[in-house]
Structure 1
Amino acid sequence: MAENKQSAEAIVSDVHKKIRAAFEAFDFESNNTVDAREISTIVYSLGCFPFQKDLHDFISQVEENHSGYVHLDKFLPAMTKVLMEHKFPPIPEDLLLQAFEVLDKEKKGYLEPEELTKYMTQEGEPFTQEEMDEMLTALADHEKNHIYYKDLISQLTIDPDM
């Protein structure tokens, strides 16, 4: 019994480390606070892909009195609950690969940033240009200006046993 408790504590500890690392990447003033507009990127980086309505509800829950800022003390328990309860489940790797392959009509193995921007800002639940800029900065091969999606799938998904 104690073994199970210890492993549960270890899992929560690992989850906290991942959340803190993702949060701290956007804590530019090192004051345990991030701009609320960065929360979507942080949530996505943790392998969660909520619908926009669910994401906005989550941001409202963790934002400090409509100040435009989110403090780690409020974000950490809320995001831990999301991850532990699998509230915003990750997209399976095979499904993500199929989606990229549908977009890659010429079967090149990559997408041009302009192509991805067009799809992501005009289809489904559209991303904002700011979200796309952040995504392209993180995902594009800057030498060739291509997005090699097969290399990215492991970055865009998360181990379901986490």
Structure 2
Amino acid sequence: MAEDKHSAEAIVSNVHRKIREAFDVFDHEHNRTVDVREVGTIIRSLGGFPSEGELHDIIAEVEEEEPTGYIRFEKFLPTMTKVLMERRFRPIPEELLLQAFEVLDQQKKGHLEPEELTKCMTQEGEPFTPEEMEEMLSAAVDPDRNVIFYRDFVSMMTVDNT
């Protein structure tokens, strides 16, 4: 029994760490808040892919009573922990994401140009906004080569579902 409790605590602790790390990437002021427009990007970076309606529901849940345009970590953490623990918003396995990038990489170069990814992400399915695309590219593009090494990007942005 005690072992189960420790493993459950370890799982929750790991989820909290992942949420904190993802949140911190977008906490540009280092004041434990993020712009409300970045919440969708953070959730996607944690392996969740909510529809626009689901995203609005989450934002409504974590927003202050008087919306400020910012989301506080203290309100985001419990909601996001619950979302991840329930495996809501169909977390996509790393292998599936890799396959998607490989389909886009028709020349099998092992990387994508930012323009290739932008075209795909803003014109297909539920398109990313320019702001979401800018945030994604800021995390995805290798600064030295100005390309997206998608293997590195996928492993950085997926949640280990253990």
Name the SS of the counterpart of 2:71 in structure 1: strand
Tell me how far apart the structure 2 counterparts of residues 131 and 24 of structure 1 sit (CA, whole Å): 16
Tell me how far apart the structure 1 counterparts of residues 25 and 153 of structure 2 sit (CA, whole Å): 19
Q: Which residue of 1 aligns with 2:62?
A: 62
* Displacement of 1:154: 1.2
Q: Which residue of 1 aligns with 2:141?
A: 140
Contact (CA 8 Å) 2:48, 2:90: kept in 1 or not?
yes
Q: Which residue of 1 aligns with 2:52?
A: 52
* Displacement of 1:49: 2.2
* Displacement of 1:93: 2.3
Tell me how far apart the structure 1 counterparts of residues 23 and 149 of structure 2 sit (CA, whole Å): 26
Q: What CA RMSD, in Å, does the superposition of the two structures yield over aligned residues?
A: 1.8
* Displacement of 1:129: 0.8
Contact (CA 8 Å) 2:18, 2:159: kept in 1 or not?
no
Tell me how far apart the structure 1 counterparts of residues 155 and 39 of structure 2 sit (CA, whole Å): 21
For 1:142, give the aligned amino acid.
Answer: P
Tell me how far apart the structure 1 counterparts of residues 16 and 135 of structure 2 sit (CA, whole Å): 24
Tell me how far apart the structure 1 counterparts of residues 103 and 38 of structure 2 sit (CA, whole Å): 29
Aligned pairs for 1:7-156 within 5 A:
7-65=7-65, 66-156=67-157
Tell me how far apart the structure 1 counterparts of residues 122 and 28 of structure 2 sit (CA, whole Å): 27
Tell me how far apart the structure 2 counterparts of residues 9 and 105 of structure 1 sit (CA, whole Å): 43
User: Bigger shift: 96-105 or 17-26?
Assistant: 17-26
Tell me how far apart the structure 2 counterparts of residues 29 and 137 of structure 1 sit (CA, whole Å): 16
Tell me how far apart the structure 1 counterparts of residues 143 and 155 of structure 2 sit (CA, whole Å): 19
Contact (CA 8 Å) 2:94, 2:155: kept in 1 or not?
yes
Normalization by structure 2: what TM-score?
A: 0.88
For 2:69, give the aligned amino acid.
Answer: G
Tell me how far apart the structure 1 counterparts of residues 53 and 39 of structure 2 sit (CA, whole Å): 14
Aligned length: 161
For 2:91, give the aligned amino acid.
Answer: P
Tell me how far apart the structure 2 counterparts of residues 29 and 110 of structure 1 sit (CA, whole Å): 31
Name the SS of the counterpart of 1:127 in structure 2: coil
Gaps of at least 5 residues in structure 2 are none
Tell me how far apart the structure 1 counterparts of residues 21 and 73 of structure 2 sit (CA, whole Å): 11
Normalization by structure 1: what TM-score?
A: 0.88
* Displacement of 1:92: 1.7
* Displacement of 1:41: 2.2
